[in-house]
């Protein structure tokens, strides 16, 4: 590509997208053509069917070969914890909905392979678009990547490979696949921006793990940015500066130096214990969706898994996993995490977590509908199977069970009864399990908060799911961008709810932890400790950040800080006071100048 700079871009032009991977990078742009291939559908004669199916199979095989090469490369580069992403793509290549349906269309509707694949991909995209859970919806991007690769193979178009780039450059593309990201040489590609994408797409997840700063969802990046343009990307804020002036360049260079220093410093905290300055230990655990994430959790120093979201085991297969399949998945997780515990949450589908396999009925208000334990208590066979699998895994290490979306004691007792029944069955069948498996309640509904004192008598531990608790407490749909500004973790109502839960747990002498996103945010860390949380579970990349904060303040001071802010009347006042407190204590962390 020629290095030409468009003259109509003004100095310091700012684009704002989604900060998908933190860090600051400064270099010239390198445009990569990742526009989707246009498929041309045509009718075929019956005699052409076989040739079209073979062409399709050939395209699948080429895609498989490519992905295996990427996998080998990832292995050689020590990226073993990310192999599941490539494996997911290899699995998509075997998926019946994709492969079987495309072949059926070729055969039954006499459509060429390109056209048939295009139709199937459109249908799959529509299914994923209708899912309101962001993480699951973003799996659509995996279908896109794989679909695009097969399509290119079909039409014979070659993709530019990123490892041939002469760096250092900032890649600008419409979209990038996880395979593209794995192949990036960090010395050459110092960051990337894309028109589409989100924080939870696999490309973003990989970029974060690889430490490559990225801004996605810019919409117009490829149409605005020419090749060879000097630019800055700030993956922390989602800001992109085109043609930076000397002054802006210097400011960002300073900001980059500080950011890189703080990140480097974080590594030192990995091996240190998670405790306040005066030695009060806080257990920091990891949230995981799949067992493969345990390796990373261990590396980051997690003392166990505080939330294993089991719903991901139920997606993408042909029907729900069997008891043995679940048992294997739980056992593997438990063994990998030993001697620390793994907290397995029973299935939390329904509401915003749509699992296509279950054909959930259309509900007018799904978030308040048949979800989580309500679903399990209705689909009792599934529930029993899952409980048996979890119990059986408890022989191999420390397992804790927790039930999502409990709204009161009645539901908790019903769940416990199923658990007792499952134990009885296992005893009769002579299958082993631990009699000591602790049973927890997720506190996610306002009713659970109001009866927390009663629930505390029925549970071995509490784990607060703030993602849902805040949504139900403040009556704000967590996935609705129009009311996102009202989603305030520091709302006095939320703080009071959290305090009430901690007090109830303390009175009954049970453990209280948190596994919602709030638990991993450095801004809230001291507030949560002061409230009484002694277990925080989060995305494992945040563990060192929280240690860095808590290790600098003694518990008494943390409590005094809470006293100063907890009775303020509005969310804005609490947030402002908290930010001020944190800024004074940690100017280097909370005082980065916003440019």
Q: Which of 142, 398, 468, 511 binds ligand PEP (CB under 6 A)?
A: 468
466 binds, among ligand PEP, Mg ion, none (CB under 5 to 8 A by kind): ligand PEP
Quick check: 191 binds Mg ion (CB under 5 A)? no
516 binds, among Mg ion, ligand PEP, none (CB under 5 to 8 A by kind): ligand PEP
List the end-to-end C-alpha distance of the chain, in Å, as a whole number.
Answer: 32
Enumerate residues 286-315 that contact ligand PEP by CB under 6 A.
Answer: 307, 309
Q: Which of 466, 539, 540, 542 binds ligand PEP (CB under 6 A)?
A: 466
In DSSP notation, 460-487 reads: SEEEE-HHHHHHHHTT--TT-GGGGGG-
Enumerate residues 480-519 that contact ligand PEP by CB under 6 A.
Answer: 515-516
Q: Which of 444, 511, 521, 581 binds ligand PEP (CB under 6 A)?
A: 444
- Binding part of the chain for ligand PEP, among 314-322, 357-365, 460-468, 495-503 by CB under 6 A, reads 460-468
Residue spans of alpha helices (H) in 13-100 = 49-76, 83-92
Nearest approach, Cβ of residue 373 and Mg ion (Å): 11
Q: In what order do the strands lie in the sheet with 189-194?
A: 13-16, 239-242, 230-234, 24-32, 169-173, 189-194, 214-216, 18-21
Nearest residue (CB) to ligand PEP, 29 versus 537: 537
Task: For residue 47, give Cα distances in angstroms to 44, 51, 58, 105, 354.
Answer: 8, 8, 18, 15, 41
Tracing tokens 């805040």 back to the chain, one arrives at: 470
Quick check: 521 binds ligand PEP (CB under 6 A)? no
Nearest residue (CB) to Mg ion, 176 versus 305: 305
Smallest CA-to-CA distance from 473 within 460, 482, 486, 485 is with 486
- Binding part of the chain for ligand PEP, among 22-30, 322-330, 385-393, 463-471 by CB under 6 A, reads 463-471
190 binds, among Mg ion, ligand PEP, none (CB under 5 to 8 A by kind): none
For 247-258, b/e burial (b = at least 16 CB within 10 A) is ebbebbeebbee
Q: Which of 465, 489, 513, 520 binds ligand PEP (CB under 6 A)?
A: 465
CA atoms within 13 A on the CB side of 493: 13
Q: What is the DSSP letter of 398?
A: -
Nearest residue (CB) to ligand PEP, 444 versus 521: 444
Q: Are 217 and 197 in contact (CB under 8 A)?
A: yes
Give the pair of three-digit tokens for residue 92.
């998509």
Active site residue 482: no
Nearest approach, Cβ of residue 204 and ligand PEP (Å): 18
Contact partners, residue 280, CB within 8 Å, separation at least 6 = 529, 555
Nearest residue (CB) to ligand PEP, 348 versus 398: 348
Nearest residue (CB) to ligand PEP, 169 versus 452: 452
- Binding part of the chain for ligand PEP, among 19-27, 182-190, 464-472, 540-548 by CB under 6 A, reads 464-472
Nearest approach, Cβ of residue 467 and Mg ion (Å): 5
| Chain residue whose CB lies nearest Mg ion | 468
Nearest approach, Cβ of residue 347 and ligand PEP (Å): 11
**Cα–Cα distance between 519 and 217 in angstroms, integer?**
26
Tracing tokens 């655990």 back to the chain, one arrives at: 285
In the set 118, 473, 502, 515, the catalytic residue is: 515
- Binding part of the chain for ligand PEP, among 187-195, 412-420, 459-467, 558-566 by CB under 6 A, reads 459-467
Q: Which of 191, 291, 350, 465 binds Mg ion (CB under 5 A)?
A: 465
**Where does residue 349 fall: left (phi above 0), alpha (psi -120 to 50 degrees), or beta otherwise?**
beta
- Binding part of the chain for Mg ion, among 187-195, 230-238, 437-445, 573-581 by CB under 5 A, reads 437-445
Nearest approach, Cβ of residue 57 and ligand PEP (Å): 39
Nearest residue (CB) to ligand PEP, 124 versus 464: 464
**Cα–Cα distance between 12 and 304 in angstroms, integer?**
46
E strands, 383-428, in order: 399-403
SS (H, E, C) 269-338: HCCCCCECCCCCECEEEEEECCHHHHHHHHHCCCCCEEEEEHHHHHCCCCCCCCHHHHHHHHHHHHHHHC
**Cα–Cα distance between 324 and 317 in angstroms, integer?**
14
Nearest approach, Cβ of residue 197 and ligand PEP (Å): 21
Q: Are 466 and 476 in contact (CB under 8 A)?
A: no
- Binding part of the chain for ligand PEP, among 184-192, 373-381, 462-470, 557-565 by CB under 6 A, reads 462-470
Nearest approach, Cβ of residue 373 and ligand PEP (Å): 12
- Binding part of the chain for ligand PEP, among 4-12, 47-55, 276-284, 466-474 by CB under 6 A, reads 466-474
**Cα–Cα distance between 93 and 97 in angstroms, integer?**
10
Enumerate residues 337-396 that contact ligand PEP by CB under 6 A.
Answer: 348
203 binds, among ligand PEP, Mg ion, none (CB under 5 to 8 A by kind): none
Nearest residue (CB) to Mg ion, 131 versus 196: 131
Within 10 angstroms of residue 187's Cβ, the number of other Cβ atoms is: 8
Nearest residue (CB) to Mg ion, 398 versus 444: 444
In DSSP notation, 153-194 reads: HHHTPPPPPGGG--SSEEEEES---HHHHHT--TTTEEEEEE
Active site residue 202: yes
Task: For residue 46, give Cα distances in angstroms to 39, 43, 53, 177.
Answer: 21, 10, 12, 35
Quick check: 468 binds Mg ion (CB under 5 A)? yes
Nearest residue (CB) to ligand PEP, 120 versus 494: 494
In the set 30, 89, 202, 491, the catalytic residue is: 202
How many positions of this chain bind ligand PEP (CB under 6 A)?
10
Q: Which helix (H) or strand (E) holds 26?
A: strand 24-32
Q: Which of 28, 73, 209, 467 binds ligand PEP (CB under 6 A)?
A: 467
Nearest residue (CB) to Mg ion, 474 versus 550: 474
Q: Which residues bind Mg ion (CB under 5 A)?
A: 444, 465, 468
Q: What residues act catalytically?
A: 202, 515
Q: Which residues bind ligand PEP (CB under 6 A)?
A: 307, 309, 348, 444, 465-468, 515-516
């Amino acid at each position: 590509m020629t290095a030409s700079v468009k003259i109509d871009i003004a100095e310091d032009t700012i684009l704002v997208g989604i900060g998908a991977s933190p860090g600051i990078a400064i270099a010239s742009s390198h445009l990569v053509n990742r526009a989707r291939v246009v498929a041309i559908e045509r009718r075929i004669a019956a005699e052409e069917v076989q040739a079209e199916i073979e062409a399709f199979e050939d395209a699948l095989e080429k895609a498989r070969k490519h992905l295996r090469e990427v996998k080998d490369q990832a292995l050689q580069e020590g990226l073993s914890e990310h192999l599941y992403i490539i494996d997911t793509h290899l699995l998509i290549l075997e998926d019946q909905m994709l492969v079987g349906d495309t072949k059926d269309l070729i055969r039954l509707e006499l459509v060429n392979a390109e056209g048939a694949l295009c139709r199937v991909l459109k249908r799959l995209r529509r299914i994923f678009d209708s899912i309101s859970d962001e993480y699951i919806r973003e799996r659509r991007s995996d279908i896109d990547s794989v679909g695009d690769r097969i399509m290119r193979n079909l039409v014979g178009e070659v993709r530019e490979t990123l490892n041939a780039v002469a760096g250092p450059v900032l890649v600008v593309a419409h979209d990038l696949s996880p395979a593209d990201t794995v192949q990036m040489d960090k010395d050459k590609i110092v960051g990337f921006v894309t028109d589409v994408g989100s924080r939870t797409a696999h490309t973003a997840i990989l970029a974060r793990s690889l430490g490559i700063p990225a801004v996605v969802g810019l919409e117009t990046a490829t149409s605005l940015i020419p090749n060879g343009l000097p630019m800055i990307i700030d993956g922390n804020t989602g800001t992109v500066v085109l043609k930076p002036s000397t002054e802006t360049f210097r400011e960002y260079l300073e900001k980059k130096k500080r950011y890189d220093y703080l990140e480097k410093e974080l590594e030192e905290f990995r091996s240190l214990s998670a405790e306040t300055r005066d030695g009060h230990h806080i257990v920091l655990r990891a949230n995981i969706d799949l067992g493969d994430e345990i390796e990373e959790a261990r590396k980051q120093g997690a003392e166990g898994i505080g939330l294993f979201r089991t719903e991901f085991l139920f997606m993408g297969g042909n029907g729900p996993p069997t008891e043995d399949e679940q048992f294997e998945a739980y056992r593997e997780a438990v063994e990998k995490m030993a001697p620390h515990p793994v907290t397995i949450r029973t299935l939390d589908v329904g509401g915003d977590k749509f699992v296509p396999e279950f054909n959930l009925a259309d509900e007018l208000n799904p978030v308040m509908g048949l979800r989580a334990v309500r679903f399990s208590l209705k689909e009792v066979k599934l529930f029993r199977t899952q409980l048996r699998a979890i119990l059986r895994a408890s022989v191999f290490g420390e397992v804790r069970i927790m039930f999502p979306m409990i709204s009161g004691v009645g539901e908790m007792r019903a769940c416990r009864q199923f658990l007792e029944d499952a134990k009885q069955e296992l005893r009769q069948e002579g299958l082993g399990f631990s009699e000591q498996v602790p049973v927890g309640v997720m506190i996610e509904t306002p009713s659970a908060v109001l009866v927390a004192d009663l629930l505390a008598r029925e549970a071995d531990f509490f784990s607060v799911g703030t993602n849902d608790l805040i949504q139900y407490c403040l009556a704000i749909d967590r996935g609705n961008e129009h009311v996102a500004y009202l989603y305030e973790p520091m709302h006095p109502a939320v703080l009071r709810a959290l305090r009430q839960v901690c007090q109830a747990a303390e009175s009954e002498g049970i453990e209280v932890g948190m596994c919602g996103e709030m638990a991993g945010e450095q801004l809230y860390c001291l507030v949560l400790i002061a409230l009484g949380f002694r277990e925080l579970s989060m995305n494992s990349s945040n563990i060192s950040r929280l240690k860095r904060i808590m290790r600098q303040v003694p518990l008494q001071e943390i409590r005094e800080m809470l006293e100063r802010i907890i009775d303020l009347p509005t969310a804005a006042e609490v947030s402002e006071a908290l930010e001020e407190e944190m800024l004074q204590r940690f100017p280097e962390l909370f005082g980065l100048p916003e440019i």
